[in-house]
């Protein structure tokens, strides 16, 4: 009996040491992973910046009026009212993502599930709105005009990022149901939140360029 108790105590202590070791490793690598993810977002900023500056150059040098003239007529402006509505949908998803993260950090699983689900639905809703706009925007298509090529390229790149983000959030949601993350270790959720706020910020720039300028 004494030997059994001793062994049981040894295994318990060993488990505690292992758990402490895992915590130390997690804390040491978390900052490195965060730096790596931030550098990835910086690379994405450079990508978008290159296309944005190319669009600004084309707009300010190619045509004296904008939208440009095609087949003797000036192309129509994009639907600002619809874009405002779709933007509210995307920015609203940024708010729900924030509350989802707060729910997880404070161990409020019901709050997390509610706002995570809303974030995914709103993100998908934004993509649906963008698809609707693509079908109804009469700006010459991808190869029909400089305006159309710029619009579809930049907003298409952004839409692809939103699509990837929605898929990523679905994976994160599934992982939380499998207890992959805890209230102390949740770097994946942190990365997902940063990425989702990133697509919000990029859309601010694109909204100004294509709808307000």
Domains of the chain: 46-212 (1.20.120.80)
Q: What is the mean pLDDT of the chain?
A: 88
Beta-carbon contacts of residue 92 (< 8 Å; ≥ 6 apart): 122
With 50 as the cut, is the pLDDT of residue 15 above it?
Answer: no
Query: Whose CA is closest to 129, among 89, 180, 160?
Result: 89
Q: What is the pLDDT of residue 63?
A: 83
3-class DSSP assignment, residue 69: strand
Cα separation, 27 vs 21, in Å, equals: 10
Query: Whose CA is closest to 189, among 199, 175, 178, 202?
Result: 175
> Band of the pLDDT at 164, cuts 50, 70, 90?
very high
Report the percentage of the chain scoring pLDDT > 70.
87
Question: What's the whole-model pTM score?
Answer: 0.86
Contact 129, 91 (CB under 8 A): no
Residues forming a β-bridge with 69: 74
The string of pLDDT tens digits covering residues 81-140 is 999 999 999 999 999 999 999 999 999 999 999 999 999 999 999 999 999 999 998 887
> Band of the pLDDT at 165, cuts 50, 70, 90?
very high
With 50 as the cut, is the pLDDT of residue 4 above it?
Answer: no
Locate 30 and state its tokens: 């978390």
Burial annotation 123-155 (CB, 10 A radius, 16+ → b, else e): bbebbebbeebeeebebbeeeebbbbbbbbebb
Choice among 28-32, 59-63, 89-93, 160-164 with the minimum mean pLDDT: 28-32
Cα separation, 129 vs 83, in Å, equals: 9
Output the CA torsion sign for 77, 125, 144, 202.
Answer: positive
């Amino acid at each position: 009996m004494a030997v059994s108790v001793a062994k049981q105590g040894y295994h318990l202590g060993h488990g505690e040491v292992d758990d402490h070791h895992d915590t130390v490793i997690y804390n040491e690598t978390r900052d490195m992973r965060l730096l790596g993810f931030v550098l990835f977002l910086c690379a994405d900023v450079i990508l978008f910046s290159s296309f944005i500056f190319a669009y600004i150059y084309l707009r300010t040098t190619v045509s004296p009026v904008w939208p440009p003239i095609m087949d003797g007529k000036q192309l129509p402006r994009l639907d600002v009212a619809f874009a405002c509505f779709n933007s509210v949908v995307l920015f609203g998803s940024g708010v729900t993502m924030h509350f989802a993260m707060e729910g997880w950090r404070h161990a409020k699983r019901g709050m997390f599930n509610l706002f995570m689900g809303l974030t995914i639905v709103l993100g998908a809703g934004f993509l649906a709105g963008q698809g609707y706009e693509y079908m109804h925007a009469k700006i010459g298509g991808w190869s029909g005009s400089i305006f159309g090529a710029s619009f579809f390229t930049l907003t298409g790149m952004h839409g692809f990022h939103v699509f990837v983000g929605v898929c990523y959030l679905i994976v994160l949601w599934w992982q939380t149901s499998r207890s992959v993350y805890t209230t102390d270790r949740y770097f994946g959720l942190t990365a997902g939140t940063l990425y989702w706020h990133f697509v919000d910020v990029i859309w601010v720039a694109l909204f100004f360029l294509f709808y307000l300028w």
